[in-house]
Amino acid sequence: MINHPHRQRAAVTRYCKERRIALDVREDGWLLVLGNGRERHLIFGYDLGLNSAVAHRIACDKAATSALLAASGVPAVPHALFLAPTVTGVSAPAWTTMLELIETHPTGLVVKPNEGTSGRAVTRVRTSAELKDALTQIFETGASAAIAPLLEIADEVRVIMLDGAPLIVYRKLRPVVTGDGLHSLRDLALQAVPVEQQSRLLRRLAVEFDASTLQAIIPQGEQRLLSWRHNLEFGAQPVLLTEGPLRETCTALARDAARAVDIRYASVDVVMADGQWQVLEINSGVKMEALGEYAPELVEEATFAALDAIFGCRPSGSTAGPPDIPQ
């Protein structure tokens, strides 16, 4: 399961063994109890426990994050908050206000759970009917939704930050196929992945495209994206960024965002849209399970650095700060 912190748990286990810290694994690995004789520390899910409760709650709330960043002068994608009727106590959502957003953004909107992660239940809408359907689905199981303008995102970069320093910086490249004039989008997509990954790919494609689009023949030389999302869970590939202008720009923006939220350990997603880099979201729970499929050593080193910040210890013979992450 990509949602389960298997790699994080493995990294924490190795860390505790090397640092001689006691580890008690509970709730199938979702709750970890660490102790070194002087102090006790809890890890729950993907929250390593470095951030304050307020910073964690703000980062988990897309609308609150965008509002705070805007007030702090940090470029960010705006997210409007809407509460479910079960929260407000009224019989129906504020449809009038929501539908006005369609008129304001005729190119479309993105509807998502206000506190969701990994791109799940994130929907593009362009009509009032689509907007109502997307919101109804979210409100059936969630307390709130966030609505953002649909942007033409040219690039997306994730920066994993610890106390203002970047641990890992990588681009998210969406999967693409090139037509040959003979095969359909579905066939070209299946040809691009190993057999053992095809069933998972077909499930993703069914969410992204209708049947006619999947069966259409792609003309020779034309390219098609297999997902409009930049999430690794939806097939995007991570490309580590070395030192350079792009990395510096994205890191500086991520640092400003982390400072505005007063968060210590987080992953910050920044996007190039409308001709400028801006923050899409901040994640207090740093999920690196999908990244670990490509660079497990980086996931472990980043986890070690975060845990060192918690326990104030360093590898034997070291007096430096958090370990450098090779690019």
3-state secondary structure at position 102: helix
Cα–Cα distance between 301 and 18 in angstroms, integer?
13
Higher pLDDT, 326 or 104: 104
The CATH superfamily label for domain 78-150 reads ATP-grasp fold, A domain (3.30.1490.20)
Please, which pLDDT band fits residue 300 given cuts at 50, 70 and 90? very high
Record the pTM. Answer: 0.84
What are the pLDDT digits (tens) for 47-80?
Answer: 999 999 999 999 999 999 999 999 999 999 999 9
- Residue ranges of the chain that CATH labels 3.30.1490.20: 78-150
CA quadruple 321, 323, 326, 327: dihedral sign: negative
Long-range contacts of 205-209 (CB under 8 A, 24+ apart): 209/185
What are the pLDDT digits (tens) for 111-168?
Answer: 999 986 666 778 889 999 999 999 989 988 888 999 999 998 989 999 999 999 999 9
- Residue ranges of the chain that CATH labels 3.30.470.20: 1-75+152-174+228-327
Percent of the chain at pLDDT above 90? 55
At residue 313, the pLDDT reads 65
Terminal Cα distance for the chain, rounded = 27
Please, which pLDDT band fits residue 305 given cuts at 50, 70 and 90? very high
Residue 326 pLDDT greater than 60, yes or no: no
Residue 86 pLDDT greater than 50, yes or no: yes
Q: Which CATH class is domain 1-75+152-174+228-327?
A: alpha beta
Residue 224 pLDDT greater than 70, yes or no: yes
Please, which pLDDT band fits residue 318 given cuts at 50, 70 and 90? very low
- Say if CB 287 and CB 141 are below 8 A apart: no
What are the pLDDT digits (tens) for 178-211?
Answer: 999 999 999 898 888 888 888 888 887 887 788 8
Tokens of 176: 């693409």
Please, which pLDDT band fits residue 236 given cuts at 50, 70 and 90? confident
* 3-state DSSP percent of the chain in helix, strand and coil, to 5: 40, 25, 35
Q: Which one-letter DSSP state was computed for residue 321?
A: S
Contacts for 269 with CB less than 8 Å, ≥ 6 apart: 156, 157, 158, 230, 279, 280, 281, 282, 283
